[in-house]
Amino acid sequence: MKHKTYMTQGTCSRQIDFDYDEKGNMYNLKFISGCNGNLKAIGKLCEGKQMKDIMEILKGNTCGPRNTSCADQLACAIKEVIDNA
């Protein structure tokens, strides 16, 4: 199991942490700060799922007037993992 810490940009959350296995499945997703209930729900929905699928669903999601969101930042974090594999 590997771990990823990603410092977010342009969102209320400051940081995203998650673990992933050699098959590309995500576990233990946690957002630091942000909309607590919504971000915990995203963590539950992502548990054990393929990172590639999560990234495809969440990339480009925006929040209010921002051009990103916590979900979009998660997609960016996953992209870093995939690009560096």
Number of domains in the chain: 1
Q: For residue 30, give its domain range.
A: 2-83
Residues 6+ apart with CB under 8 A from 70: 8, 11, 12, 13, 16, 31, 34, 35, 38, 39, 42, 63
Alpha helices (H) in 10-85, listed in sequence order: 36-46, 51-58, 70-83
Predicted local confidence at residue 85, as pLDDT: 86
Residue 23 sits in a domain whose CATH number is 3.90.1010
Q: pTM for the full model?
A: 0.96
19 burial class (0-12, 13-18, 19+ CB within 10 angstroms)?
A: middle
pLDDT, tens only, 26-63:
999 999 999 999 999 999 999 999 999 999 999 999 99
